[in-house]
């Protein structure tokens, strides 16, 4: 008879990361990065949070509305070089990124301002 304490089903397991987080975590060399896997995968850096979708290769920064396309290696490089915000701005114009089509420009501006204030970082969104 198998002792329940020694059963293979009772062994502690480490939480499994989705494939995209796994690939990024292998390429990131910084030590101050935290990976959180909930309904939305999150990479927490000291100055910014990055939200990744689990179904597609899209990410957005905390305080931003638009989802942009990324590749694992290029996002890992941006994290290592501490230029994630610049990478986000560059990838907004990528052909695989979601188009920024808002019917109400004032509503878009209000939402972006609200999210920037909620993130306690007013430098995220600046009015053009």
Q: Which of 5, 23, 7, 17 is nearest to 74 (CA)?
A: 23
| In-domain check, residue 24 | yes
**pLDDT tens, residue by residue, 78-98:** 999 999 999 999 999 899 888
Helix axis angle, 19-27 to 72-80, nearest 10°: 40
Q: Is the pLDDT of residue 28 over 70?
A: yes
Range of the domain at 91: 16-118
| In-domain check, residue 51 | yes
| In-domain check, residue 80 | yes
What SS3 class is residue 77? helix
* pTM for the whole structure: 0.71
| In-domain check, residue 79 | yes
Q: How many domains does the chain have?
A: 1
**pLDDT tens, residue by residue, 31-40:** 898 888 777 7
CA count, 13 A, side-chain hemisphere, 79: 28
pLDDT of residue 127: 46
| In-domain check, residue 50 | yes
pLDDT of residue 121: 53
Q: What is the mean pLDDT of residues 102-123?
A: 74
Quote the CA–CA distance of 43 and 63 in Å, as a whole number.
14
pLDDT of residue 105: 81
Phi and psi of 127, rounded to 5°?
-70, 135
| In-domain check, residue 85 | yes
């Amino acid at each position: 008879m198998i002792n329940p304490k020694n059963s293979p089903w009772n062994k502690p397991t480490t939480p499994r990361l989705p494939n995209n987080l796994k690939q990024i975590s292998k390429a990131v060399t910084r030590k101050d990065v935290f990976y959180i896997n909930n309904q939305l995968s999150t990479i927490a850096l000291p100055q910014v949070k990055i939200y990744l979708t689990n179904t597609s290769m899209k990410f957005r920064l905390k305080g931003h509305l638009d989802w942009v396309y990324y590749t694992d290696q290029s996002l890992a490089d941006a994290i290592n070089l501490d230029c994630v915000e610049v990478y986000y701005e560059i990838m907004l114009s990528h052909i695989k990124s979601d188009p920024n089509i808002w019917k109400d420009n004032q509503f878009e501006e209000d939402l972006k301002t609200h999210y920037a204030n909620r993130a306690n970082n007013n430098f995220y969104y600046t009015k053009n």
